[in-house]
Amino acid sequence: MNAVLVVNSGSSSIKYQVIDERSGARLAQGLVERIGESGRGRVVYKGTAGDSATEQDIPDHSAAFAAIVEEFRAAGTPIDELGIVAVGHRVVHGGRDFIAPTLIDDAVAERILELAELAPLHNPGHYAAIVAARAVFPELPHIAVFDTAFHQSMPERAYTYALDRDLAADHGIRRYGFHGISHQVVSRRAASHLGMPLESLKQIVLHLGNGASICAIDGGRSVDTSMGLTPLEGLVMGTRSGNIDAGAIFHLLRRGVSVDEVDEQLNKRAGFLGMTGSNDFRDVRAAAASGDEAANLAIEVYVHRARHYLGAYLAVLGGTDTVVFTAGLGENGPDLRELICAGFEWCGLKLDPSRNAATGSGARVISADDSAITVLVVPTDEEAEIAQQSIALIASS
């Protein structure tokens, strides 16, 4: 058994999976939410011996890990008998420091906390979970796998904002990109589905989930991506605006809207939610079908922005071999896929309508046989990728 405990932590939640890295099988999974909300913590466990959900006091991340270990024991499958050989932690921001999966020691953990300056909503929760998990599993290697690392291959011209050089350097302002774990696993699986070497392929991957980003990948390396210093830049998302003229922010500030309110508006009250009242594309689609003008406009804005990037990345890459759709909307939105791909026949991109409409759960081609660009749907699996990168790191060290 080569099992990895994959931890995806936030400031008030921990999601985890125990994955057999060789087969990809999930041996158990669960979550702890509402950490720090007095008496309202929720602990959910799904294992081979059954499922459970309880409410209990979970004051901090250490208590959360204690509760997780207890769930496994109560289910009759103690966590230390599952053959776990490593703990893989998803970390959103690795800044310029982390360009690959990294074995966590005290210094690495502290650096992840320092990088909270760039990711205040994410890195403090990661740090708290890392400290707690290392105390519970001191004998296991802990590995940090970064969402930003895959994009560290971007050339300077793609990651540099046209700002005063000293200002940008002093404040660490540059584009980092996110969803790297997803873009990496999806592009590799697309290549393997096509039976082509990753190194020979140009790919454009659209990760369209509640958060959304698009990535231009040349030979397995990210060369451009739509998210920037933070995950706010780029595509329209469930609750985030994506691209907006920075001048709009000054305008709001000068009109008396506070910094925190602008931040909240752009990150949590914009996107589909702001334009339609729901961040879930299923609601937006249903409203549009019933003639709701705001919902129809929101879909048009969403598609316009995605097409804008698709065209841009065709230029960045000098054409592409594949266009790959993944994540919630990318995997389940044939209507969106059709709208985004429409009118790209000029560059040889042609969907097959029945393949696009067919439902399926695995990787699949949805372009026509005579399409010069192969369009695929490839389910993302960030947890499996974290497990694989964790095992690869300990095998090589």
Here the tokens at position 77 are 């499958």
Alpha-carbon span 66 to 276, nearest angstrom: 41
Task: For ligand AMP, give the closer residue by CB, 45 or 281.
Answer: 281
Q: Considering the complex, what minimum distance in angstroms separates the CB of residue 331 from ligand AMP?
A: 8
Cβ closest to ligand AMP, residue 134 vs residue 240: 240
CB nearer ligand AMP, residue 133 or residue 306: 306
Positions that interact with ligand AMP (CB under 6 A): 209-210, 238, 279-282, 327-329, 332-333
Cβ at position 375, least distance to ligand AMP in Å? 18
Q: In angstroms, what is the minimal distance from the CB of 288 to ligand AMP?
A: 12
Residue nearest to ligand AMP (CB): 328
Please, which residue, 97 or 338, has the CB nearer to ligand AMP? 338
Q: How far is the CB of 280 from ligand AMP (least distance, A)?
A: 4
Min CB(394)–ligand AMP separation in Å: 29
Handedness of CA 116, 122, 125, 130 (dihedral sign): negative
Distance CA(239)–CA(241), nearest Å, equals 7
Closest CA to 84 of 144, 10, 146, 28: 28
Nearest Cα to 355, choosing from 310, 325, 321, 319? 325
386/253 Cα distance (integer angstroms): 40
How many residues are given for the chain? 397
> Residue 4, Cα to own-chain centre: how many angstroms?
19
CA-based torsion, 125, 187, 103, 160: positive or negative: negative
Catalytic amino acids? Answer: 147
92's CB contacts (< 8 A; 6+ apart) are 119, 122, 123, 126, 146, 147, 148, 178, 231
Q: Which CB atom, from 30 or from 238, has the smaller least distance to ligand AMP?
A: 238
Nearest distance in Å: CB 245, ligand AMP: 26
E-strand stretches of the chain: 3-9, 13-20, 26-33, 41-47, 50-56, 84-91, 102-103, 142-146, 202-208, 212-218, 221-225, 322-326, 364-365, 374-377
Taking the least distance from each CB to ligand AMP, the nearer of 143 and 212 is: 212
Closest distance between ligand AMP and the C-beta of residue 295, in Å? 13
Q: Which C-beta is closer to ligand AMP: that of 138 or that of 362?
A: 362
> How, if at all, do strands 142-146 and 102-103 pair?
antiparallel
The one-letter code for the residue type at 185 is: V
Nearest of 313, 329, 331 to residue 321 by alpha carbon: 313
Distance separating alpha carbons of residues 8 and 222, to the nearest angstrom: 23
